[in-house]
Amino acid sequence: MDKISQALVSKLTHFQKRLQSFLENDFDPNADEKKSQQEMFEASRDVSLVRGLSQGLPEDHIDRAIVAFSRLALLFDSGVLLENNDGEWKAQAFFHRGATELLKNSAKLTISLPSIDLLTVLKTDSKPLLEKLQLQDLDPQQRSSCLLIKATPDFAFLLFSTLPDIWLKDHITQVRTALINGFAD
């Protein structure tokens, strides 16, 4: 039993290091610069940026999910990367207004997700999910729609957008197509 727990801890530590290396920037802007960048942030609907979502993704499915998630930070107001842990989905990282951050171990909460096919998009109210994950700061005015996309059996994205439904529908269709191109093997 001790070997199993050591292997599990080793795997989680390795995953955490990989996730952190992908999400870290080459430079760490000071707090004022970061706040200024976030205040000016506007989620992009640029079609060329959406198409680039799937280009040059790594072969490894873990790295692929992490890179795709970090690219989604430019296309949505906020998002949460979830990892499957025996049917419970644990929040690993989030982005808000273009800035991506890794969640600390103590802040990693789990949620249950409905059984859905890969790369299917479900839309729901953001408030209950963010409350359960204790990430209400991602949508303080509670104006966002929440989109759930299960990218792989092990990873899912919660994406939050304040776009009106008329534009959101087209935007998510384009994003879903790009993700299909990036994750289809």
Give the model confidence (pLDDT) of 28-59 as tens digits: 555 555 555 556 678 777 888 888 888 889 99
Q: Which residues of 115-138 are buried (b: 16+ CB within 10 A; e: fewer)?
A: eeeebebeeeebeebbeebebeeb
Examine the pLDDT at 12 and tell me if it is beyond 70.
Answer: no
The total of structural domains in the chain comes to 1
CATH number of the domain where residue 95 is located: 3.30.450
Range of the structural domain that residue 174 is part of: 2-183
**What percent of the chain is predicted at pLDDT more than 90?**
49
